[in-house]
A = this chain, B = another copy of it.
Amino acid sequence: MRLRSAPSIPPDPRRPAGLRPARIADVARLAGVSTATVSRALSTPERVSAPVRVRVLEAVEQVGYLPNPAARSLRSQKSRMVLVVLPDLANAFFSRILQGLEDVLFEAGYGMIIGNLDGSPEKEARFAAFLATGHVDGAILLNGRLIGQTRDGQGEAAPTAVPLVALCEAIPGAAIPQVEVDNRVAARRATLHLAGQGRRRIAYVAGPAGNVLERERFAGYREGLCEAGLAFDADLVLAGDYSLEAGVRAAEILIRGPLTVDAVFCSSDAMAVGLMGALADAGIEVPRAVAVAGFDDIELASMVRPALTTIHQPRREIGRMGARVLLDLIAGRDVAHHTVLETHLVVRSSTG
């Protein structure tokens, strides 16, 4: 019989109500309960009685209450924000991954802050600070490196322990969960496909030297050659860095040089598209004279003519999975240290 004294919360003398966002105290006053009860009614509804719950929710509705994220974050030491670190925002490869991340993060009530490294150490330092200050509850790394590791090279561990997850590219030596595809198997499959089309001199356009992805894809290329009974020829390996321009340069070498090839496996779609464009400009027909295959299946691959045969990476799913792993980590649940998603070969007209 609620003889309980309703808490008397003094009205805010500062500004006329309505000209100022409602605070939790406004809701409490209107509902005739304490701020603690309002907080509980919103975050753990099962902990308050039904009549009080509806009174609170009505009051929330009436004054248009929205919790202040800074106050909530200060007290609870969680920000409901995730940082997504990527090397280059303009790179089309990342956009679908971002979409996948957003799908899951939004659903879970998390916001997404973009950390575009852009090759700048200042940016890296700032984003590292985001991790150290609790600005975000976790981070997704798409850059293949950790960020802002040690303070003074003393090998001292970072003072923060924000959960991190690496996508696409394993980070050597870092004990953080990874979500990626089996690059080696996929590259082998692409190479075998070219060989299966009767191609015998299959060139390879490489990624950046030393890169983890590059190592795997190159190994897959060699395995594919081997399995098809073709000899590996180091002359058929052309340097590259995954960029469109690298594909153009590779094409120039093929056009000029004494090399004869009947197929090119590019370790990224961007390079394949650059290469095909340069070949077309030189009057070399794809796939009649040279078959071309790529890796990634970015949107572009199906838009160019001839459309590009490539390895499909489930980028949106990589993003979704990465977000799920990160949320598990944040919630303290166990996670798989390594998640491998399936790729498949998409055959289009660039390989006849």
Residues of A near any B CB (own CB < 8 A): 18, 21, 64, 66-71, 73-74, 79, 81, 89-92, 95-96, 98-99, 102, 106, 111-114, 116, 118, 123, 126, 129-130, 132-135, 151, 159-160, 244, 273-274, 276-277, 280-281, 299-300, 303-305, 307
Cβ contact within 8 Å between A102 and B116 = yes
Contact A66 B133 (CB under 8 A): yes
From B67, B74, B92, B151, contact of A71 by CB (8 A)? B74
Measured CB to CB, the closest approach of chain B to A41, in angstroms, equals: 18
Q: Indicate if the CB atoms of A114 and B102 lie closer than 8 Å.
A: yes
Give Cα A92–Cα B98 distance, bound, in whole angstroms.
13
Contacts of A95 in B (CB 8 A): 89-92, 95
One of B21, B99, B300 near A133 (C-beta < 8 A): B21
> Which residues from chain B contact A79 at a C-beta distance below 8 Å?
70
5 further interface pairs, Cβ-Cβ under 8 Å (given A66-B132, A68-B133, A91-B95): A70-B79, A70-B135, A111-B130, A112-B114, A304-B305
> Is A281 within 8 A of B300, CB to CB?
no
Q: Are the CB atoms of B134 and A70 closer together than 8 Å?
A: yes
- The residue of chain B having its C-beta at the shortest distance from the C-beta of A349 within the complex is B281
**Are B299 and A92 in contact, CB atoms less than 8 angstroms apart?**
yes
Residue picked from A68, A90, A273, most chain B C-beta under 10 Å? A90
Is A92's CB under 8 angstroms from B92's CB? yes
* A8 nearest CB across to chain B (Å): 25
Q: Which residue of B lies closest to A111 (CB)?
A: B113
- A73 partner residues in chain B, CB cutoff 8 A: 70, 73
A81-B114 Cα distance, complex, nearest whole Å: 11
Q: How far is the CA of A114 from the CA of B83 in the complex (A)?
A: 11
- CB–CB A21/B159 < 8 A: yes
Complex Cα gap A135–B73 (Å) = 11
Which 6 A-B residue pairs are closest in the complex by CB-CB distance? Answer: A70-B73, A70-B74, A280-B305, A90-B95, A66-B133, A69-B135
Determine if A68 and B74 form an interchain contact, defined as CB atoms under 8 angstroms apart: yes
In Å, the complex CA distance between A276 and B98 comes to: 29
Check B106–A99 contact: CB distance below 8 A: no
A274–B303 CB distance below 8 A: yes
Interfacial chain B residues near A276, Cβ < 8 Å = 305
Nearest B-chain residue to A244, judged by Cβ: B303
Write 14 A-B pairs (CB below 8 A) sorted by A numbering. Answer: A21-B134, A64-B159, A66-B132, A66-B133, A70-B73, A73-B73, A89-B95, A90-B299, A95-B95, A98-B116, A102-B114, A111-B135, A300-B300, A303-B304
In the assembly, what is the distance between CA of A188 and CA of B90, in Å?
29
- Chain B residues positioned under 8 Å from A89 (CB to CB): 95, 98-99, 102
Q: Which residues of B lie under 8 Å from residue A96 when comparing CB positions?
A: 90
Minimum distance in angstroms from A186 CB to a CB of chain B? 22
Q: How far is the CA of A134 from the CA of B68 in the complex (A)?
A: 7
Q: Specify which chain B residues have a CB less than 8 angstroms from the CB of A90 in the assembled complex.
A: 95-96, 98-99, 299
- Chain B residues, Cβ within 8 Å of A133: 21, 66-69
Residues on the B chain within 8 Å of A18, using CB: 159
